[in-house]
Amino acid sequence: MILVSACLAGVKCRYNGESFACEHVIDLISKGLAIPLCPEQLGGLPTPRENAEQNGEKVQTRSGLDVTQAYKQGAEEALRIAKLMGCKKAVLKSRSPSCGSGLIYNGKFSGELVKGEGIFTQLLKANHIEVVSEDDFSTNMNGHPETSGFNTENTYY
């Protein structure tokens, strides 16, 4: 089973109350190969909510509110579900303070990206769950799941 960011499945759970639907991710779910989760909602954050960015070990909103604990709690709950479902791989929303993989916003709300990983991504990797961003997943799909880096043929992850 593959874990995916719920916003990529078309669920309106992003900070701005919108989704970021990704056709390839929706296809995985429709085939019963993936489950959608939003660690931010699982941490008790509302939708919509104030934009937040990771700044070192903390996650703060634009107005300076420290929401680190909600992000950590949501990551723990999402990990618990991922383990229950036997997930070994994840396709997560790029640049997010929860789900970002490789690049995240710099914590200054300037739009600048820096190397880093979201709170949930860090936790998944520490638990040996492979993480790719939707950008990398969709780029590598080219209409062929076998080129995505994920074997989706009759395999339970």
Residue 142 pLDDT class (50, 70, 90 cuts)? low
Q: What is the pLDDT of residues 6-29, one digit of tens each?
A: 999 999 999 999 999 999 999 999
Q: Give the angle subtended at the CA of 112 by the CAs of 109 and 113, to the nearest 5°.
A: 115
Q: Using CA atoms in the order 82, 8, 90, 47, what is the torsion angle rounded to 10 degrees?
A: -40
Q: Both ends of the chain: CA-CA distance in Å? A: 4
Percent of the chain with pLDDT over 70: 89
Distances in Å between the Cα of 5 and the Cα atoms of 21, 66, 129 are 10, 23, 14
Q: What is the pLDDT of residues 74-87, one digit of tens each?
A: 999 999 999 999 99
Q: What is the pTM of this model?
A: 0.89
Can you tell me the distance from the alpha carbon of 110 to that of 93, in angstroms, rounded to the nearest whole number? 19
Which residues are 54's β-sheet partners? 59
Please provide residue 114's backbone torsions phi and psi, each rounded to the nearest 5 degrees: -135, 160
Can you tell me the distance from the alpha carbon of 5 to that of 20, in angstroms, rounded to the nearest whole number? 9
CA torsion sign for 42, 46, 48, 50 is negative
